Homo-oligomer: A and B are copies of this chain.
């Protein structure tokens, strides 16, 4: 199950599209006044109830909307609509925050004439502030033609906080003669006023999928994609990824035993990986996307841990910002990852350039390595020489602007 890594497989076709590319989905975004000027309320609607699954932040301070959305999904593994506000995260807001989250769900359910548990909600923005419920209520009242509107670009805009660009991805694939589309949108990982990087991912598909398979598939794919990105190692109170599968493609319900399952998972993985990479590239102050590809670990999990150790190292991140081919910092991060590696079998490459092998640095061309690091996408390849485990992690460089954005916010 390494589809997330090997994108070469032609299981799917990449298309220009996003959260409304699959059949039967509608979405848009509007301005309700939470933010000063920008769109701040996004919604997505499926013509029919969709099988749904979610993964949520592991942060123990879990925001109120996550509690409510978890409840919705666990009731019947079915959703028909998602509502997202940006500007206020409704996190660390106690009892009132939870009541507001329930009310937010109720208001949308009423407007769209749906059972409450068919509605997922989420919030992103400032933590510790209560939602302006009157503005949200007025915003919901403004939503028109939810069963025909198709404005994914407004949806993408309305979920953004400090993101510099909207994030979308979509693929198509065929299973049993049925054309299946998977598309999605995400918001990133600019650390949000005043607190944190909320990462939100929304994926829609017209495939028919068994709910248990959908949840397990989403979990697996998230572990290899969204969970492998790092901007600064902080995990938000509001992180969430949702997937809806409404069955409009007409295929027989996919289970893990279905011959097309692997193909579906490859498509889902591609969409999630693209969204995750966009988030990493859009990290606060970032100028470069860093991809760390760890191979020949004892296990995939070991490769994941080593990859994350490298991508989280402030020293590696600053070196790449400064186009410094500083193999020592990479080797050091491998060494303190807590995994049992063998220093003498480790090989490290910066793109095509071997910089470390057999326990010692190679006599590589510094100027060539500096030139490689001037690119916008940097690949660090680590071969642990131990087994068959592999993982890829993504992150960004650490820059003056990161410090500026996060130190100077309130001043």
Give me the interface of A with B, judged by CB distance under 8 Å: 57-62, 91-94, 127-128, 191, 194-196, 232-237, 312-315, 318-319, 321-324, 326-329, 331-336, 338-341, 343, 356, 358-361, 398-400, 402-404, 406-411
**B residues less than 8 Å from A323 (CB atoms):** 411
**Complex contact A94–B336 (CB within 8 A):** no
Contact indicator B195/A328 (Cβ below 8 Å): yes
**Majority SS of interface residues in chain A?**
loop
- A314 near B233 (CB under 8 angstroms)? yes
**Complex-state Cα separation, A303 to B93, whole angstroms:** 25
A92–B347 Cα distance when bound, in Å, is 12
Give the distance in Å from the alpha carbon of A410 to the alpha carbon of B336 in the complex.
24
| A411 proximity list for chain B (CB < 8 A) | 322-324
Known contacts A59-B336, A328-B92, A336-B59: A406-B235 contact under CB 8 Å: no
Residues of B within 8 A of A333 (CB): 234
Q: Tell me the minimal C-beta distance from A408 to chain B in angstroms.
A: 5
Chain B residues near A408: list those with CB within 8 A.
322
Write out the residue numbers on chain B whose beta carbons fall within 8 Å of the beta carbon of A92.
328, 331, 343, 356, 359-361
Q: Which residues of B contact A232 (CB under 8 A)?
A: 313-315
Question: Chain B's nearest CB lies how many Å from the CB of A91?
Answer: 8
Contacts of A322 in B (CB 8 A): 406-411
- Kindly provide the distance from the CB of A43 to the nearest chain B CB, expressed in whole angstroms: 27
Q: Is the CB of B234 within 8 A of A406?
A: no
Whether B328 and A128, one on each chain, are in contact in the complex, defined by CB atoms closer than 8 angstroms, is yes
CB-based nearest B residue for A128:
B361
Residue of B314, B326, B329, B340 near A314 (CB, 8 A) is: B314
Select from chain B the residue with minimum beta-carbon distance to A341. B60
**A332 adjacent to B234 (CB under 8 Å):** yes
Given A58-B338, A402-B403, 6 extra CB contacts under 8 A: A60-B343, A61-B335, A127-B331, A194-B326, A194-B329, A318-B403
Contacts of A359 in B (CB 8 A): 92, 94
Collect the chain B residues with CB atoms within 8 Å of residue A195's CB.
315, 326, 328-329, 332
CA distance A93 to B343 in the complex (A): 11
In whole Å, how far is A234's beta carbon from the nearest beta carbon of chain B? 5
- Contact call B332/A236, Cβ cutoff below 8 A: yes
Given contacts A59-B335, A61-B335, A92-B360, contact A318 B236 (CB under 8 A): no
B128 touches A324 (CB 8 A): no
Give me the 3 closest cross-chain CB pairs, A-B, nearest first: A322-B407, A195-B328, A61-B335
- Closest chain B residue to A339 by CB distance? B60
Known: A61-B343, A324-B409, A343-B60. A94 touches B335 (CB 8 A): no
* Bound complex: CA A92 to CA B334 (Å): 13
Please report the C-alpha to C-alpha distance between residue A358 and residue B234 in the assembled complex, in whole angstroms.
22
Residue of B nearest to A323 (CB): B411
A234 to B398, CA, bound (A): 15
CB distance from A364 to the nearest CB of B (A): 11
Q: What is the CA–CA distance of A51 and B62 in the complex, to the nearest angstrom?
A: 51
Give bound CA distance, A314 to B62, whole Å. 20
Does the CB pair B400–A360 fall under 8 Å?
Answer: no
Q: A128-B360, A234-B313, A406-B315 are in contact. Are A332 and B93 (CB under 8 A)?
A: no
